[in-house]
Amino acid sequence: MTNQITHQITMDAVESSQIHSIGYDLTTGTLAVRFKNKAGEPTSLYHYSCVTPGNFDAIKNAESVGSHFYKHIRPFPDRFPFTCIEKMPTAGQVSE
């Protein structure tokens, strides 16, 4: 696992087909999720609010990080409001 600092949150690479890395800020209850494209390269970074340490432990230790995220975090924007911190183009997009 490689670590990197992203907007004050340490990110840890995870084994997932859709998620590149995750991190957690205990002070603010913020889950950071960096997605990946089909080539496995990192793309957009999102911050999810109101995430408890238990929520983070569950996703971090899940058999499938992506499945857990898509079942327990992403479908509930009222419970876990999110913000796009950094938008990156997906593979195949051309900048003008």
The secondary structure of 33-66 as a DSSP string is EEEE-TTS-EEEEEEE-S--HHHHHHHHT-S-HH
d(CA 43, CA 25): 20
pTM here is: 0.84
Residue 88: pLDDT band (50, 70, 90) is confident
In the numeric block, the tokens 């907007």 are attached to: 7
CA distances from 45 to 7, 41, 63 (A): 10, 12, 22
CB 5 within 8 A of CB 11: yes
Contacts of 52 (CB under 8 A, 6+ apart): 29
pLDDT digits (tens, 9 = 90+) for 4-63: 544 579 999 999 999 999 999 999 999 999 999 999 999 999 999 999 999 999 999 999
